[in-house]
Amino acid sequence: MEELEKVKNQIRAFVEVCNHKKSLDLLDKLATGKMLRSKLILKIAGVSDESIKLCAIVEMIHAASLLHDDVIDEANTRRGKPSVNALFDNKTAIMFGDILYSRAFTELTLMDKRVAYTISNSVTQLSIGEMLDVDLANTFNTSYDKYLDMIYKKTGSLIEAAAKAAAILAGLDENKYALYGKNLGVAFQMIDDILDITQDSQTLGKPAMLDFVEGKVTIPYLLLHERLENKTKLEALYKKELSAEESLWIKEQMNITKALEDSITQAKEIGNIAINAVKDEKDSETLVFIMKAMIEREF
């Protein structure tokens, strides 16, 4: 997609302003992701200098958050490539995250005030979401509400803000697009949590079945735990390095109890809330398409 190339060029131009070769070299080391946030912004706001800048700002904030997240999660791979913390060290990942994040914010101050407020405010939510995620991983969480609140903040808030800011740029009904973005984001994270169980490491570009080992009780585990009559075996596997047999047992139980199937249904229902929010807007078919493709993705 030609316009995504424009976004990548804009990111590079924003980093070139730093006049710091190491930052540009590190930028080249980052694997590009699906650019869901940019696709969304460009769909809602169309392609213009302002919308491309907004995409670049949001992608840089997202990249910064992942650089920090990989330090926090001690992850060695990101999008099928070695993470910056693995390739260099934690310090480099944190500092490069800070550079991307602050460059994005400087550019944000030059944009429409409502756009700047919407995006910057969501980054506080994103950061709180990450802290909730870490805190929830301390002990076996059995609260669906806490899980939902955490994934909304960690993943939904920036996607919500991206859709809302794009609607502001385009003079569209910002509340409808915010609702679309919020639910797209929550469904996106649920699918991410489901793929952790259903896909293999190669497809994911990161180790599979890692969430539970890291203490993250995601929706399929929440439903499984709720439905198992004898919960002690599952509880004993919490935060443990899983053998092939144990992984298989978890997957089997998730199929028998329909925990996986119902998690997918739940993600689809949240996806439908998103679709309903914009169904009467013009060009809503592409937003429906983005949602469906997101639900049906394999990594």
CB of 159 or CB of 168, closer to ligand FPP: 159
CB of 86 or CB of 116, closer to Mg ion: 86
Tokens found for residue 174 = 């910002």
d(CA 192, CA 1): 24
CB of 58 or CB of 172, closer to ligand FPP: 58
69 forms part of the interface with Mg ion (CB under 5 A):
yes
Cα diameter, the chain: 61
Binding pattern for the stretch 10-29 against ligand FPP, x by CB under 6 A and - elsewhere? --------------------
Of residues 202, 68, 77, the one with CA closest to residue 129: 68
Q: Pick one of ligand FPP, Mg ion, none as the site partner of residue 174 (Cβ within 5 to 8 A by kind).
A: none
Least Å distance, CB 73 to Mg ion, is 4
Binding pattern for the stretch 116-135 against ligand FPP, x by CB under 6 A and - elsewhere? -------x--xx--x-----
Tokens found for residue 235 = 């509880």
Contact 273, 187 (CB under 8 A): no
Least Å distance, CB 284 to ligand FPP, is 26
148 forms part of the interface with ligand FPP (CB under 6 A):
no
- The closest residue (CB) to Mg ion is 73
Neighbour-count burial for 22-45, b at 16+ CB within 10 Å, e otherwise: ebeebbeebeeeebbbbbbbbbbb
> What 3 state SS string does 177-205 have?
HHHHHHHHHHHHHHHHHHHHHHCCHHHHC
196 forms part of the interface with Mg ion (CB under 5 A):
no
DSSP label at residue 83: -
Does an H or E element contain 241, and which?
A: none
**Which residue matches tokens 């924003």?**
14
Least Å distance, CB 221 to Mg ion, is 16
Least Å distance, CB 104 to Mg ion, is 20
Q: Pick one of Mg ion, ligand FPP, none as the site partner of residue 14 (Cβ within 5 to 8 A by kind).
A: none
- Give the one residue of 40, 56, 57, 64 binding ligand FPP; rule: CB under 6 A: 64
DSSP assignment of 163-179: HHHHHHHHT--HHHHHH
Interacting residue ranges for ligand FPP, rule: CB under 6 A: 61, 64-65, 68-69, 73, 75, 97, 101, 123, 126-127, 130, 154-155
Interacting residue ranges for Mg ion, rule: CB under 5 A: 69, 73
